[in-house]
Structure 1
């Protein structure tokens, strides 16, 4: 039986690791966690913030998904959106999900990220 999501994997183009580190660590406030050596040889990087884990894997014919995205719960969405904006990550607000405040942003390779706070 399913118990929880261990991680979400997003794709990224070859050679994008430094830009991803700058975004996921400096902009989102996550911590990079080491990949096992056999997986590290493939490139990419892994990040964690509390129980949230995102893996960025290298995809040679990478194209960012137009719609697919992780939905990440945040404690104070307005402060978090201000953090993103102040660090150069544009935010788009959306009022279409009842019972939630939410916004979207994109990482440096175009992956869409949704940030939510329950009302």
Structure 2
């Protein structure tokens, strides 16, 4: 039996951790959490998102702009996030409508597809 979602992982290029932290921690406001000592040598960093984690790993040789794979962050004020991201140079992309939700997408600085979604 699957009990729930423990974490999700996205990737950024090797050596881009500081730029990744600047975007995910400073702009999105997510909290970095300590990785276990046994995994620190692999690069990347972990983020706390509500009661779950997003693991930001590192890998090269992959064009993140070519995939529909994404992570969706549930928010309580979609208009705020659209304005905030635009103010920080991020271009929102309107998503296909889903009944009961307001949402938009964008690409992070590394090409990862990200969705902001709010229940209405």
Aligned to 2:69: 68
**1:93 Cα deviation after fit:** 2.0
Alignment TM-score, normalising by the size of structure 2: 0.90
90-99 or 41-50, which moves further after superposition? 90-99
C-alpha spacing 1:52/1:89, structure 2 compared with 1 (3 Å):
farther
Q: Which runs of 5+ in 2 are unaligned?
A: none
1:25 matches 2:25: yes
**1:95 Cα deviation after fit:** 4.5
**1:52 Cα deviation after fit:** 3.9
Cα distance between partner residues in 1 of 2:106 and 2:78: 12
Cα distance between partner residues in 1 of 2:106 and 2:53: 18
**1:40 Cα deviation after fit:** 0.9
36-45 or 86-95, which moves further after superposition? 86-95
Q: Which runs of 5+ in 1 are unaligned?
A: none
Alignment TM-score, normalising by the size of structure 1: 0.91
Aligned to 1:94: 95
Q: Deviation string for 1:9-59 (max 9, x for gaps)?
A: 011111110110000011111011111112110101111132242111111
1:70 is paired with a residue of what secondary structure?
strand
Cα distance between partner residues in 2 of 1:4 and 1:82: 32
Aligned to 1:108: 109
Runs of 4+ in structure 1 deviating by more than 6 angstroms, as ranges, are none
Superposed CA RMSD in Å reads 1.4
- Count of aligned pairs: 119
